[in-house]
């Protein structure tokens, strides 16, 4: 008899969570989506609600959850500066209390648990590209610290539960990811540029635009999640998941203008505090597991632009 795997996805109505829920359902899993809808949206998973293998629960992971499950993907946490700085204390609690509660659930049920960590644990890196062995250069008291240090503490908890309680863990450090279902007003560079271009507003670059980022398309990233979760028990991570191809911020702005056919001009503003100059993953370890991104930036941008065209941007930005 085929046993259906019961999988819990916290933050399941968010950008990455919704894509992951869809993928797990396609893979034949029974999916429990948990979200408090602070940044997640019901519209991201509305099309899944009729599926008999899909359930959605409104719940905040800073409170314990009692379920019977086989696997947990812990994605709950606002991930863009504009959202995680809105209530920084709650952001830290989501990362830390959320990790404790989900690890406790994994310990009780014997579930395997995946942590969506972040390249932000490296801070403003002094090593380029960043390997998993790099311990980072992070400001513990800056405006981004609620997220950066919250995620660092969550990693600490995961490895302590692994060592102390033998919980089966998988930790992924996620680099910039983009694609359909991104929040249009999350203040991230890809969504900023696309919404500005589609509305023919000036495209805002902070700094001189020479700072670089690497952009991973969401489908590639979700493949990485699944490969890491299904890897051998001794593979705990952390594993970098991201696209190692670098683009300058100015280059991204020019591509978006070209692909949208926009008449937007580019304007420059001062760089905000603690903003890293460059960020690029060393994905040697991920490649050893059989993963690397395959979707080119232009192809991914076209899909993302098509998604943003379906939204009422004038209404969203008027609110």
User: H or E stretch including 8?
Assistant: strand 6-10
Given this model, what pLDDT does residue 290 score? Answer: 98
The mean per-residue pLDDT over the stretch 44-59 comes to: 97
How does pLDDT run across 264-312, given as a tens digit for each residue? 999 999 987 656 677 889 999 999 999 999 999 999 999 999 999 999 9
161 among known catalytic residues: no
| Percent of the chain's residues with pLDDT above 70 | 98
Domain range summary for the chain, segments of one domain joined by +: 6-177+216-241, 179-213+245-278+294-318
- Tell me the C-alpha distance between 269 and 275, whole Å: 13
The verdict on domain 6-177+216-241 having CATH code 3.40.50.720 is yes
Q: What is the pTM of this model?
A: 0.95
The mean per-residue pLDDT over the stretch 213-221 comes to: 96
Catalytic residue of the set 122, 147, 161, 178 = 147
**DSSP class of 201:** P
The stretches of the chain forming alpha helices (DSSP H) are: 15-26, 42-45, 81-84, 88-109, 145-165, 189-198, 218-229, 249-260, 284-288, 297-309, 313-318
How does pLDDT run across 187-201, given as a tens digit for each residue? 889 999 999 999 999
Above 90 in pLDDT, residue 35? yes
- Sequence-separated (6 or more) residues with CB below 8 Å from residue 291: 223, 224, 227, 228, 241, 283
- Sequence-separated (6 or more) residues with CB below 8 Å from residue 275: 124, 206, 207, 211
* Assigned CATH topology for domain 179-213+245-278+294-318: UDP-galactose 4-epimerase; domain 1 (3.90.25)
Above 70 in pLDDT, residue 54? yes
In DSSP terms, 212 is beta-bridged to 248, 278
The mean per-residue pLDDT over the stretch 161-184 comes to: 97
- Mean pLDDT rounded to a whole number for the chain: 94
Question: Where does the pLDDT of residue 158 fall: very low under 50, low under 70, confident under 90, or very high at 90 and above?
Answer: very high
């Amino acid at each position: 008899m085929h046993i259906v795997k019961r999988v819990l996805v916290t933050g399941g109505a968010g950008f990455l969570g919704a894509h992951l829920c869809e993928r797990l359902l396609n893979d034949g899993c029974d999916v429990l989506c948990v979200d408090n809808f602070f940044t997640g949206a019901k519209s991201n998973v509305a099309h899944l609600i009729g599926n008999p293998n899909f359930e959605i629960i409104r719940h905040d992971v800073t409170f314990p959850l009692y379920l019977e499950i086989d696997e947990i993907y812990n994605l709950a946490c606002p991930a863009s500066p504009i959202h995680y700085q809105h209530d920084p204390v709650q952001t830290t609690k989501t990362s830390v209390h959320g990790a404790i509660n989900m690890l406790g659930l994994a310990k009780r049920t014997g579930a395997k648990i995946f942590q969506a960590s972040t390249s932000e644990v490296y801070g403003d890196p002094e090593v380029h590209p960043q390997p998993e062995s790099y311990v980072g250069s992070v400001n513990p008291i800056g405006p981004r610290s609620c997220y950066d240090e919250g995620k660092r503490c969550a990693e600490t908890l995961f490895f302590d539960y692994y060592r102390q309680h033998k919980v089966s863990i998988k930790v992924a450090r996620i680099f910039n990811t983009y694609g359909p279902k991104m929040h249009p007003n999350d203040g991230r560079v890809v969504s900023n540029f696309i919404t500005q271009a589609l509305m023919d507003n000036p495209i805002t670059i902070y700094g001189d635009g020479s700072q670089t980022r690497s952009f991973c398309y969401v489908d590639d990233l979700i493949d990485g999640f699944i490969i890491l979760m299904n890897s051998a028990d001794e593979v705990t991570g952390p594993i970098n998941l991201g696209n190692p191809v670098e683009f300058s911020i100015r280059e991204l702005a020019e591509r978006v203008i070209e692909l949208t056919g926009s008449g937007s001009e580019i304007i420059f503003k001062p760089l905000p505090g603690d903003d890293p100059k460059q960020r690029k993953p060393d994905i040697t370890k991920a490649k050893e597991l059989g993963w690397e991104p395959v979707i080119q930036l232009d192809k991914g941008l076209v899909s993302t632009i098509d998604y943003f065209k379906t939204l009422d941007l004038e209404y969203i930005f008027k609110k």
